[in-house]
Structures are given as C-alpha cells and as structure tokens.
Structure 1
Amino acid sequence: MRRMLWNMRGLAFIVVIVATVAALACESSEEQEQPLPAAAAAPAAPAAAPAEAQAVELPAPQAQQQPAPAAPARAAEQPEAAMGVSLGGAAPSAGERQGEDPTDAMADFKYEAPQIEPGDYPSHQWDGPIPTKFNESPQSAALVRSGDILPLEERLPVHEDIWVIAPYDEIGVYGGTMRITSSQLKTLDHLAVTSLVNGDPVGTSEPRIIKGWEVSDDGRKYTFTNRRGARWSDGYPMTIEDVRFAMEDLMFNEGDVNPASRIPVELKSQITGNRARFAVVDDVTWTVEFDDPYYDLASSRHMWGSSKTRGCPRCYYAPSHLYKRFHPKYNAEEIDSLLAEYEQDNVRGLFNLIRNIRSGPGHDWRQTGPIPTEYDPSFIYKGDFYAAAMSELIQTRCCEGGRAAERNHYFIGVDPEGNQMPYIDEQILIRTEDRTAGVFRAMNGENDYFGGDMILSELPLYMANMEKGDYSVYIFRSPAGNDSASAVQNEFVQDPEMGQLLRTKDFRKALSIATDRNEMNQVVASGIGVPQQWIPHPITPYYPGKEYADLDASYDLEGAKAILANMGYSDSNGDGYLDRKDGSGPLSLHYVASSLYLPHLEILQSHWGGLGIKVAIDESGGGFGTARKEDPELPFEHHISLYSMNQWTVQWTRAFAGTGGSPLGAAMGNYWASFGESGMAPTGGDSMYQDVYGNMAGANSYPADITGNIMEMQDIWRTGIQTGPVLHPERVEMGKEFWRISAEEKYNIGYLAFMGIFRGMTMKRNNLRNVPKNHVALEAKGILGAYYFEDGLDNFTNPGNRSQKYKSVHFLDPEYWSQ
C-alpha cells in the first residue's frame, strides 16, 4: 500500500504574512543563551538579522521524481580509527581487535537506501541479512581500550537478535554534537528510541527494544520475545526479570506503588473489565492474556508510550537492579531512610519521584558506582541513584538552561553494514528565553534539528532565510486527518437553550457549512492544509471515502442561515446576531482553546458571526481541563489528533466518547469505560437533554445521546477490537462505519487536515543527514541514532560550518525529495 500524503492541488502561492514578519523582526535582538556546561563548548555565533520574508511562488506540481543516489560520504576526521569486530565465528579477544575505517567494516556489502516517491513514508525496517562484522565509534573503542566498557561483541545482543536499522539516506559517519535550540525544554528521552514497540503511518506496530510478538488466533494472548544479550546503558544485562518486576511489582502492584485506578484501560478485558494476566514463559518470553479478545494491545499508543522506561510504574520493563532498592518487597529495611532522604510520605510518592527521569533525582543516566556485567538475581544497586535506559542516547545533564545526552555505548542497534548506532556523539538542548528567540536563533543556523517553535503562518519567513541559515524546512503530516476541529459537548446543560442546539445534528451542520475552510487554510496554514471533515487519510485501512471527507465541508453561509431560520431563529433588532428564544440577548457561544489555536478561533468567530452567532474567545487555554468535567461548563474544545489513522490506537481519542475525559460527553464516556460502575447510565430520554426540536434519546440510550450514535460508536470501538487484527475484513468495515457516523453526526466538526500543525514542521541544518522527509507527526524524528553530520563535522564545534553537498530546500519544492 502506498503511503502518499501530499495533496498539492490548489497550491499556487504562499501568502506572506507581513504583520507577523514585522512583529517577529522587532523582537529579534534576543541575547544569546549559553548551553549547559560541556567540555570544549564552542561559543554561539552572534545572531544575524534574518532576511525579510518575500512573496514565494510555489512550484507547480510536477511528475513524481525518484531521489538521486546518495552521495558517498567523505572520510570523517576522527581521533581514532573505528574498530571492527567479526561475529561470524568465534569472537576475538579485545587484544586481537584491529582498527578499521567504518567504510571497510562490511567490504562485501554496501548499503543503498531505498528510493521513495514524493509524499511517501520512508521505513527504517531492514529485511536483509544481519551483518556478521561489526564496527564501533572511536569514542567506544577508546573506552574499550581503557577498560571502561565491554568489547563490542559483548555489548550487542546475540547475533540473531541484533536490531538492524536501515538509514533513510545512507550509511553515516561517526562523531559530532547535535543541537536543539528552542524555547521548549523538550525531553531528550522522548526524542530517542526507548519503547518496546512503535507505531507506523497506517496504525500498526513494529518491534524495537523487543525482538517481536505473536497474538493467539482468538486474540486473547500476546507472547512477547526479548532480545537475548541486550544490556542497559550502564552495561547491566536487560533480562526477563526487568519485565517481570515492571509488570508484577510496579504496573500491577495495586497497593504500595500503583493504585488500581491507574491500571491502563488497555490492560483490561473489553467485556469483563478484568485486569490482564502477566506470566513469564522462559528467560526471554513473556505473555499478557485477557479474558476476551483484544487484538490491538501491540498497536495501542499506550504500548508505544508506556513501554518506555520513562512511563514507570505504568511500564512494561524497568531497570530492576536500580529500582528494587526503592521497593519494600526487596529492601524493606532501607525504605524509611529513603523516604526521609527524598522527602516523601509513602512508597508511591517515592516511585513517582525517582521514576521522573526527565528532571528527578535520576535525571543523569550515567552510572555513579560499579555495576556487574553479569546478571546476578540478588544484586541491588545502592550507590548514588541514577537512571538506566535502552535508548541510543542517554541523558546526562538537566535542567538549568537545557539538557544534554551522550552516546549509549550499549545500544542494541546497528546499520546494515554493521556499524553500531548512534552515529553522533552527543545531543544538547539549548533553551531560549521565548519562542521568538528560538525561531531567530534557528534561522541563524544555531539549531541542527527541531521545530517546536515553528508555526505554519510564519512559513514565508522561514523560507526566506533558508540559504542564509544553511537549513531546510521539513514537514511531517499526520495521516490521522484532523489538524483542526471543534469537539461539541453533548452533555452541556448549564445553558439549556444552547445545550439543545449542541445536541441537534442540524445545528452542528450549520456551524460546519458556515465555516470557510479555504480561508482558514490560507490564514493559519499558508494554504498547505486540506479542508475536510475529520477523516483519516486514504492510505489508512479505515478511510470511508472522499464523500465523507467532503460531507458538509463546503462553505454555504446562506444554507447555514436557512437551517437556523427553520429552527425559528431571527434577528429582530438588526444588530447582526440572532435572538435567543428566551429573550435574554443574542445567541452566543463561549469557546476556549490554547494559544496554538487562537488564529483558528478568530476565523470561527468571524464566520459564525456572519451566521448570526456571537462567539466569545477565552484565550486562557484552560478549556482543555474544564471541558472534560463530568458536569461540563464549556460547550466546545478545539483540538487535533495525531493517532487516529487507526482509531483503536487510543481509547482516549476525542473521536468518540471513550473515557471520562471525553469532550464529546464525559459522563457517557465514563459509564462506558468503567463498564457501568459510574457515569451517565443509558436510561433513555430525559427532558433535560432534548434537542432543539424537542427530540429525546430512545430507550436504552444515554439521555444526552439523541440519535443513539454516540453509543453506536462506542459499540463499534469495543466490538472491532475484539473482531480481529487491524486489517481483518470485518474490522475494516467497522472502522469505515465509525468514520461515516462521525462525518454525518459531526460530534467533531473537522476543518483542516494533513498540514503538520503540531510537531510537524521543523528546521534541519543541511549537513545533518538521515532525517526523514516525511514521518508520522507523533514520532516526528525517525530513528535518532541514524542521524549523522556530513563528513562527521558538526556545527557546534565547527562555527561557520556549512554543507558542501546539500542545498536548502523546503517541502513544497520538488527537489525536496531528490537530495
């Protein structure tokens, strides 16, 4: 299945947002901030004034081009030759190792990255043979010689369990420090590989830290297999005990550590509501079993996220040799002193603190005391606390002014030619005073890769300064189909008249067709979005058809006015707003959203004002929490979706009322998620929950569910996940029906899609390679361990460095896909 996501139709010019550029230019005199203390840190270059944004004419869409073959990399200037190791036969001793150039490590095989078509999603999955000869970084080789780390053949998993990662561009070169310069104190652990499994663009999953898994034919039992010989970043073996400890003593410990209320919904059976059962099979195999079929555990966002060590105690594996010290089952005699030392009242609070590997006491992941390299079931580390990880880079400094991470010499991944990843030595995050400073420093070339401060309406500014800053502008467009939507609260009763309107399908249709999505697209997305309802991309298995993406998505203000007139609304005093039927004033809506969506809300305020509805905008951004109360105070929440290319990926998706936090109906979601223990019971019609025509819910429906389709979508979700895997024909049809109902009912009114509004757009220095040109926005980075600098020369320790091979391009340029 092709994974095309581009829709270039109708793109002719990018509108220059002159006011935005001028405002930013006035604030460009930010003083440079220094990164965290680091050895031989290069001073930041003075900020250059960015060029004024010019009107940029978009190239006309051309025939799809194949990327040019990757240019061969020049030999890196390294202090030591990289070391090669053969695992094809008996492993040589450390004394027998010979230095080799990385390009010679696999002389019998040369990797060539697969070509992708414009708009396609690249893959790092490798289906070829596992290398038999391996290579390590000069940094690692020096530590082997000094005896600080194990030889490479002992650091990697056993041969058949090594993770082989296919770079997007070409085999990399070792060395260099990568910078992220931003106002956001982004967590470096989130930017690195740490999960057991991870998602792909069509909503299925792929193995990462684990070797793989199988699902029983009846969908009740998952059997997972670890990688034999894998090690934590401190060199200690990662074993089945790390999984057992995480599952039994942390995740499923409903007393000391993790309350029953925090057991993830994804680990509860979908019919009985009972918790799943965990079991160890052997030294590398373990199972998770449910009472009834549940085909999406491995494809759930929960497993993508909570299978990272940063999710403990809601995690699937943890460094038990470190964490057992804080568990009364294993170290009762020291718990009281540890509670006092860390100023916590109970063990639950203690674990909440130490598991915070972002900024807690273990934020430095480098070991601080001797650690055995052989597994010892009785070993519990009791030195100065630190955290261990499985990611390519391990965090070493936090948090004043930024963060830093260094190479994990025990990382389990290699490239197809046998070079252990990561290629880069270090990553640093330099925190700026505010977003404006982050943008201008990035345009000055001080950011190697990140886009957290970028917004789509400033795209002309970024493009105008690309060549000067020696960077390119990338974008990752989520296939979920929702980059701007209004969630409509069906349980709203604080204002009875407005509540009746919100529960009326015709009213939601009127709001939809009163919105000029094309104008919104130009203003908030520089014209690169796709106007539509919330429907996932055609590459996904549950796409219901273009007619549903376009349903009531065309601007028809007169049609919208006719709908409200038919409901009995008119403007009797000529003030431009429709009169409330209770005579208390104009028909008004209160809308709250974060600053990210204020431009969207201003468009809605204008368009719905033209319909005769007065919209008040609350810029506090507090609506996200307030609207999710079971007694909701706000009728709307503005949001996006990063995961709904497979709506079963998360139960807490806003696509349906699946949890007690749903903005569509929190009490209905609570009843369904709690299996009837709390929330709004389906007791049928209630006069408090009528629509504008006086209709009420039918028997056995939620009182606030007038048509019964909120419950129908819940039933589809729960039934579908028990029917079969992602591509099971019956489940595919259920998935399509789910989105048909969504488009018809408009519990979410969708506006724009596929524009990469959140985590999507980024600046990348031209000499940083193996960054994907398209990716799923929720993991908008690809494989960090594959990143490398052209010729091994970074931009941090080499001020003024510019790419000698690659020019600046943006994602609308056909050449974007060919270099």
Structure 2
Amino acid sequence: MSETEIDRRILLRNIAWGGGGMLLFGGCTPGAKSGATGKDSELPAVEGAEIVGDPGQFPKMFKESPEFAQQVAAGRLPAVAERIGQDPLVLKPIHEIGKYGGQIRRGFIGAADFQNANRFCSGPDNLLFWDKDRSHVVPNIARGFELSADRTELVVQLRRGMKWSDGHPFTADDILFWRDDIDLHDAFSRGSGTPKLRVRNKPVAIEKVGAHTVVYRSPAPYPILPELMAGITDVGGQAFAGPTGGGGFAPKHYLSRFHPKYTSEAAANAAAREAGFQNWTLHLKSLNSWALNPGLPTVTPWITRRPINNPPWELTANPYSIWVDTEGNQLPYIPTITMSQSKDIEVITVRVVSGQFDFQDRGLQVDKLPVLVQNEKRGDFTVHRAPGDSMDCAIRINLAYNKDAEVGELLRTADFRRALSLGIDRDQVNQTFFLGSGTPSATMAAKNSPYHPGAEWQLKWATYDVAQANQLLDRIGLSNKDEQGFRLRPSGNGRIRLNFQSANAQANFPAVGEMIRKQWVQLGIDVTNQTVAAALLSERSLTGDLMLFISNVATDDPFANPDTFLPTVPNNIAGMIGIPYAKWFVSGGKDGTEPPEPVRLLKDAMRLYQRGLEADKAARIPLGQELFRLHADQVWSIGIVGFGLITNGIYTAKNNLGNVPARVYNGNQVKTPVNTLPMTFYYR
C-alpha cells in the first residue's frame, strides 16, 4: 500500500471522527479563541506587508540572491540596480527582513487550475492594486496615478527602468500594443475592446505622452477606472487576463513577431499552424499565457520554468523583479515554487496533512477544516482562516437558456425562481458542508458593506418555506403532476426537469446540488445533478448548455466586480447569468439578444450599474443598494450561503515559513491569497 493510500485512510478516519460538526480546539489561527470555523471566535486583525510610497524612504543600495550574484559575476546578468531600475516597488515585510533560499511546495488540480499561480505568485502584476484592507487603491507595478478633477482623465506613470523578465524595457508602448493590436483588434473583440474600457458605449482612449506615462481619456466621468485596474478584471494584469486577450499590457517586442500587423496575415497563420493552432489569434493567446509559455516575458516576481501542462508546474525567481524590501534586497526571497498535480481535491488535503506542502490554499475545503487542525502538529503547519466578503455558494441561473424552450421560459419567470429559492434548506446545507461557517442568505452584499440594503433583504425569498414555494408554483400554472408527484410542463408533455452542473472546486458543489435536488422533491421539481470538470463547464457556458450552475457569486462590489452578478461578461463562465444578454449590453444592442419582457428589469439593473461607473464612491452607495434589492427580489441567482470560509478562506503555512500573515483581507478583487505577498515569505 502506498503512502498516499495510508494518508487517505487517516484523512477519512479523522473526517469521520470530526463528524462535520463543531469541534473545539485552541489556536487554530494565531489569536483565535476556539471553534472549528472561527465564525463566532475572535480572529486576528487583517495584516500584510506595506508598500513604501515615499521615494525618500527607498533603499540606496540593492542586494540580490546568491544565484543571481553568481550570474552577474559570470557576465550572464546585468548588475542588480540596473535590473530593478530607478523606481523599485518597495515592501516593508509584516514581521522581519527575510533571507534567501528554499522552495515553496504547493499543489494544483490539472490544467483548469491555471489561476492557482495567479492567485499566489503573480505579484500581483496589476498596474494598480489595493492596500491591505482594501480601503483604497495604491500604485503597484505603475509608480503613480492621478485622476483629473472632472474624472475623465487618468494619468498613469510607469516605473522608470522597469524591465520584462527577459531584460527588455517595459514602456508605454506595451500598453498601447495591448490596447490597439490585441484588445481593439477585430479578430479578438470585433473592435469593441474590453467593456472595462468603455463608457456610455464609447471607448476609453489611451494616449502615450512619454516613454513612461500614459493617459486614459474617457468620454464621460469614469472615477472607477483605478479600481478596475486594481481588481481581477480584463485590465487587471497579464497573469490573470493575458490568455483571454486581456491584461492591460503585453510584451510588444515578443508578441508582435506573431501578429499580422508586424509580419503578415499569411506568416502569422503559418506560424500558428506550425505550433498546432488553427489561426494566429489562438496562437497569440496561448503565447500570452503565463501558465503555458515559459518563453513569455512577464513582470511577475516568479516566472514559469516548467508549464502547467507538463507537471510539476515550476516557477523560478524573476531576475528583473522590481520588488525589494526596505533594506534593498531584491524579492522574492524564496527562488523556486514547485506545484505538484493532484488528481482530486481530497488528495490536496492528504498532502497538506502529511506535510508535503509548504503553503496551500487552493483545494482546501471547509469540511476538511477539523482534520487539518487535528493534524497541525503532525504536518508542522498552521491553519489560517480569513472569512470572505461575498456569496460563497449560490445557484447561478442561465436566464437566457433556450436549449429547451419551456424550461427556458420557466427560468425567466420570477415566481418560479422564487419558489426554487424558498425550497432550499440553507441551514442544512451550511451545517452539512460548511460546518456552519457561512451565513444563509439571498444573493447579497455583506452586512458590513456600504452596499448592503438592510437586514430585511438578507433573506428575501431565501427562508425555507415549502408551503409558500408550492403555492407559487401552483399559481403560475404548474399544478398538474405525474404519478410520482413531479410537476408537469405547462404543455403537459412530460415532467419539468432541471439540471445542475457543477465542479468539485472551492467546495463540493456537486454534493450541495444533490442535497438541493432531494429538497426540491418536496416542490415536485425533478432535477438531474452532474459533476463536471471545470474546463468543460466553461465550454458549456459559452454554448448555452448550462442551465443551473452551483458556484460562488462575487457580491463584494457590484460596480468593480459585477461579472457574476449582472450580465456584463459575454465570453466566459462568469457571465452565465445570460451571455446573449451580456453581448447585447456590451455591444449597445448590435449583438446578442435583448432581455425579453420577463427579465426586462435586467435593463434597469444595467442602467443603475452604468450610472454607478460614472459616480464617485459616495454616490454609488444608493445605486448599489438598489441593485442588491433588485437582484434579491427577482432572484436572478439563488444565494445559499455566504461570507464564510468557502472561497479562499483557509490557508495553511509551514511553521518555519516567515512573514505569513495571520489573516488577510479575503476578497475576489484582491486575488486572495496573492495579497499575502508571498515574495516576502522566507524560511527561518
């Protein structure tokens, strides 16, 4: 019997012993009192490394790792000061200055888990980013920014002397190349570009005013643009969005060789076919994938040495990293990250428990929290908890579903959705799968969010009321049932059948689907429940084959992060609320499908959203509150449990790993846990 099989038996035995309930223990997270989840226990304050913005406080001299020093001595690298440039990104580590050396071992689940590295070791590579509390936007790989008084112009200043990982200068030309030759190119977006750079359906112009300065000129006030650049959006960094044609910048000197504008259509397509791609656009997207292409120049602290599709996935320190500590040591301290592939989520937990991973977050599900804590000493690690700011578990509904016309019309009927929501026992789901760590809720902002519309909306159409649910279904004409008690279609031609498709990802969403399937039997609603690979789910969302999809819904900010909440994304699974509707909104009615009468209020919601993009923060608050009222009342998605540990809320770190935050702000916009700033981690 293998070691993994033995560890799996230990894991399953401990889970059975833990029983899925509340297991009391001390010190799960430094500063915690007790409790398996930390929902009611005292957690440490949010902490993190700080960006030093005052040039007067910058270190005067720079140092580097022994490996890079050897390469400099051998003439294979320029001096460290030349590699970093005039404007380093200076970090003050949370606890202490570290030392060089070691390897961080992590795990990932196959090629579909490409965001694993983006959410850990990408820097992040946003031009702008959030401070540790997500209270305001700060410069990141850009050295500064300024919004004009009328909110129509954003000046972004780049770091002088900053270079791509191959040593080529990073300049304004890399931003313009991305915007003009990728984002706005007909082959990528039919010329419309990312919705994040459109205001009133008109494009934001980007102008170069110097090698290290660009100006974003909007046709109307657009004060939210810095927040979009700081978040997980199409303009939120190459590592996240490069493979889909986004990012906000791209290495012109490298990618232009494969672009027809700089060669020819024939040459670009010939190179694509030689590489195994149908056309040059697919080839270019693949080349711009940090996870797949070790030859891609990046500005991340680590660069890919061995790609995700040839595991183990390996990354190594970027010799041109702009990150340094307050004593001038070039970061990262730890030169190598190695991610081994696990065949499923359960194996990730097994390997953490047996001490094989140094830092892990992805794949740690809440129901495994008791066994993780029980084995802290055995694996020489500490479990950290960071409750999130969004809906962790919800049913996303494809409101544009048309593969079955009758079912599609039902899904577009508000009272049908309300009945389905009333038929869910959220407390049972929360206790069974999430150890009570979440809050049963409609799709809603967190209570401490300025966008929360009031306590009376938290459970709008989200209490467990089977009687009311059945009354609603009867009232909309679904009173006829077959011999097994399942409701018949309006046409009478067979029973209504709904379909869940979900992946075992942040949580065991297919198991949640199975519980809800059984609960909906009391409503006379028949459901099939499928476990589907994440990559296949993405494909099916684009073809309209997904009907109901259990996952998380980001509700931290309906303006900066609307993609799973409103029909704003036309090209990936985030837009499953209605991809044809998203195409219609994004194109100004030129493409896609206009929302029909039953979901006409989506138009009102999108008008509120557009108004919010042009408003300052204070003016956005009432608009956001109205958006949540609309969403909760119309049940455009069915919120189940939120604001707990399900989404990136658990991370484990070896006890000899220094500068690990006891707790970080957990939010989608800050790409948690990349905001732990692992480039400051070191081995004691």
> Shorter-chain TM-score: which interval?
0.7 to 0.9
RMSD of aligned alpha carbons: 3.7
Q: Is the 8 A contact 2:648 2:673 kept in 1?
A: yes
Task: With the length of structure 2 as denominator, give the TM-score of the two structures.
Answer: 0.83
Q: Is the 8 A contact 2:388 2:648 kept in 1?
A: no
Aligned residue among 332, 338, 349 for 1:422: 332
Query: Residues of 1 paired with 2:351 and 2:545: CA distance?
Result: 41
What residue is the counterpart of 2:585 in the other structure? Answer: 672
Structure 1 unaligned residues grouped into runs of 5+: 1-25, 32-45, 68-115, 364-385, 683-701, 792-819
Aligned residue among 112, 132, 150 for 1:218: 150
Structure 2 unaligned residues grouped into runs of 5+: 33-41
CA drift of 1:645 comes to: 1.2
Query: Residues of 2 paired with 1:741 and 1:466: CA distance?
Result: 45
The one-letter amino acid paired with 1:302 is D
Q: Does 1:734 align with 2:647?
A: no
Q: Does 1:508 align with 2:441?
A: no
What residue is the counterpart of 1:354 in the other structure? Answer: 287
Aligned residue among 314, 317, 328 for 1:407: 317
What residue is the counterpart of 1:177 in the other structure? Answer: 103
**1:456-471 alignment, distance < 5 Å:** 456-471=366-381
What residue is the counterpart of 1:83 in the other structure? Answer: none
What residue is the counterpart of 2:37 in the other structure? Answer: none
Aligned residue among 294, 297, 301 for 1:392: 301
Q: Does 1:449 align with 2:359?
A: yes
What residue is the counterpart of 2:35 in the other structure? Answer: none
Q: Is the 8 A contact 1:484 1:638 kept in 2?
A: yes
What residue is the counterpart of 1:377 in the other structure? Answer: none
CA drift of 1:579 comes to: 5.2
Q: Is the 8 A contact 1:203 1:645 kept in 2?
A: no
Q: Does 1:263 align with 2:193?
A: yes
**1:199-598 alignment, distance < 5 Å:** 199=130, 202=134, 205-254=137-186, 258=188, 260-261=190-191, 263-268=193-198, 270-271=199-200, 273-300=201-228, 301-306=233-238, 310-311=242-243, 313-327=245-259, 329-330=261-262, 335=267, 342=275, 347-360=280-293, 363=294, 386-398=295-307, 399-479=309-389, 481-492=390-401, 498-499=407-408, 501-567=410-476, 570=479, 575-578=484-487, 582-596=491-505, 597-598=509-510
Change (3 A) 1:338 1:494: closer
CA drift of 1:737 comes to: 0.9
Change (3 A) 1:246 1:514: closer
Query: Residues of 2 paired with 1:357 and 1:467: CA distance?
Result: 36
Change (3 A) 1:670 1:563: same
Query: Residues of 1 paired with 2:44 and 2:143: CA distance?
Result: 31
Query: Residues of 2 paired with 1:496 and 1:203: CA distance?
Result: 45
Change (3 A) 1:434 1:723: closer
The one-letter amino acid paired with 1:427 is I
Query: Residues of 2 paired with 1:146 and 1:512: CA distance?
Result: 66
The one-letter amino acid paired with 1:600 is V
Q: Does 1:647 align with 2:541?
A: no
What residue is the counterpart of 2:598 in the other structure? Answer: 704
Q: Is the 8 A contact 1:50 1:465 kept in 2?
A: no
CA drift of 1:520 comes to: 0.1
What residue is the counterpart of 2:673 in the other structure? Answer: 780
Query: Residues of 2 paired with 1:490 and 1:679: CA distance?
Result: 14
Deviations 1:662-710 (A, max 9, x none): 433444333222101133347xxxxxxxxxxxxxxxxxxx3332xx421
Q: Is the 8 A contact 2:92 2:325 kept in 1?
A: yes
Change (3 A) 1:743 1:342: closer
Q: Does 1:744 align with 2:637?
A: no
CA drift of 1:617 comes to: 1.9
Q: Is the 8 A contact 2:564 2:577 kept in 1?
A: yes
Q: Is the 8 A contact 2:361 2:673 kept in 1?
A: no
CA drift of 1:526 comes to: 1.9
What residue is the counterpart of 2:524 in the other structure? Answer: 612
CA drift of 1:714 comes to: 0.8
Deviations 1:314-357 (A, max 9, x none): 34333333334334555669947856764667543543343334
What residue is the counterpart of 2:658 in the other structure? Answer: 769
CA drift of 1:118 comes to: 2.6
Q: Is the 8 A contact 1:196 1:307 kept in 2?
A: no
Query: Residues of 2 paired with 1:276 and 1:534: CA distance?
Result: 31
Q: Is the 8 A contact 2:242 2:285 kept in 1?
A: no
Change (3 A) 1:436 1:237: same
Query: Residues of 2 paired with 1:665 and 1:786: CA distance?
Result: 39
The one-letter amino acid paired with 2:622 is E
When Rg is computed on C-alpha atoms for both structures, the one with the higher figure is 1
What residue is the counterpart of 1:714 in the other structure? Answer: 606
What residue is the counterpart of 1:794 in the other structure? Answer: none
Query: Residues of 1 paired with 2:676 and 2:392: CA distance?
Result: 24
Q: Does 1:154 align with 2:85?
A: no
The one-letter amino acid paired with 2:463 is S
Query: Residues of 2 paired with 1:330 and 1:664: CA distance?
Result: 39
Task: With the length of structure 1 as denominator, give the TM-score of the two structures.
Answer: 0.71
CA drift of 1:566 comes to: 4.6
Q: What is the DSSP-based 3-state SS (H/G/I as helix, E as strand, rest coil) of the residue aligned with 2:640? A: strand
What residue is the counterpart of 1:753 in the other structure? Answer: 642
CA drift of 1:647 comes to: 1.5
Deviations 1:699-754 (A, max 9, x none): xxx3332xx42111011111211223xx2x22211111111111121111100012
What residue is the counterpart of 1:81 in the other structure? Answer: none
